[in-house]
Amino acid sequence: MLNAETAPLGVDEDDDDYEPNFYAVAEDTEQILNKLDNAPPDEVTEEPTAALAPLGPFKLQPPPLVDSNLALKVGQVASSRVFGPLSGLDEAILRKHKAGLNRLAASSYDRDSWLTLITRLATRSTAALEDYSSGIKAEEAESALARSHMNLSNTIRELLYNYVLEDWRRRIEVAVAWLCEEWYNDQLTKKSGIEAPLHYEKWATRLIDGIMTYITAQDKVLTRFFAEIPELSRATLGRLKSLCGDPTRVQVALTTLLYLVMMRPPVREIALDTVADIWLECELSVAVFLR
């Protein structure tokens, strides 16, 4: 402590309490910007323009090639997963009110809408995308395609065929809707003039052969199936001849042909010709048996 009597003038007692601040006070943003504005410009070293290489166009590297076998396996797995949501969707118990011609094909997330999506993936996904203009006939191109690998549409068709036959009595509507889509796609193919293979006749025949394997005398689903599919040919109706060889199932075939004669006039002549063929083959087999 300083003595007030002997202390020099101009010296206060508070000066002894001064402690220097060794920590720099942080500058605010405005001060930093002012310093940068007042700082001298940096020296720029000028390089000759000739030393700079010109930039060329930038190109991405092409994607790696995918093995055909790997692509086939991946496509089959993706196609099989399309049928996954069907197990979690309940079948509609009551018929919903439809909006007529202005309705959408798949307007709600239910079983019918998902099946509509699947059938159109099978029939329209790769329609008119294959190139058959190389001079090869449509039948030869189709067989070559089947021997090499199956495309997306044919893979979904095979899965859809197996799905129908798993419970064909309850899924006959799915089969009819699928064949209607195939028939419609074939009509568009014919109008376009593209020499592409037609699928309706092939898959209709396969479905009939698969269903008739399990037909019994009490099944009336076969008659409904023949009545609702969009087109019938002599080859399609000729499949009913195999049922006439079994006495327990001949009534189902004749009932189906009778219904077509009465209720489907466009195929009446074909149905009558099928009945005549069945009669002639029966007489021939009886004559051979009597000999």
Compute the distance between CA of residue 225 and CA of residue 217 in angstroms, rounded to an integer. Answer: 16
Average pLDDT value for residue range 196-210:
92
pLDDT for 150 equals 55
Q: Which residue has the higher pLDDT, 116 or 136?
A: 116
Average pLDDT value for residue range 131-153:
51
Model confidence at 133: pLDDT above 90: no
Point out the least confidently predicted range of 17-26, 106-115, 228-237: 17-26
Best mean pLDDT range from 56-60, 206-210, 212-216: 206-210
Averaged pLDDT score across all residues of the chain: 77
Model confidence at 242: pLDDT above 90: no
Best mean pLDDT range from 74-78, 123-127, 166-170, 225-229: 225-229
Domains of the chain, residue spans: 68-86+107-214, 217-291
Summarised one tens digit per residue, pLDDT across range 250-263 is 899 999 999 999 99
Is this model's pTM higher than 0.85 or not?
Answer: no
Q: Could you tell me the two tokens for 150?
A: 């199956």
For 274, other C-beta atoms within 10 Å of its C-beta total: 24
- Give which of 257, 264, 248 is closest to 279, Cα–Cα: 257
Give me the percent of the chain exceeding a pLDDT of 90: 30
Q: Scanning the structure block, which residue is given the tokens 């790769």?
A: 126
Summarised one tens digit per residue, pLDDT across range 147-173 is 434 577 888 899 999 999 999 999 999
pLDDT for 148 equals 39
Q: Which residue has the higher pLDDT, 245 or 250?
A: 250
Q: Are 217 and 248 in contact (CB under 8 A)?
A: yes
Report CA Rg, the chain: 41
Model confidence at 29: pLDDT above 70: yes
Compute the distance between CA of residue 122 and CA of residue 167 in angstroms, rounded to an integer. Answer: 20
At 111, is the pLDDT very low, low, confident or very high (cuts 50, 70, 90)?
A: confident
At 225, is the pLDDT very low, low, confident or very high (cuts 50, 70, 90)?
A: very high
Point out the least confidently predicted range of 46-50, 145-149, 213-217, 233-237: 145-149
Model confidence at 203: pLDDT above 90: yes
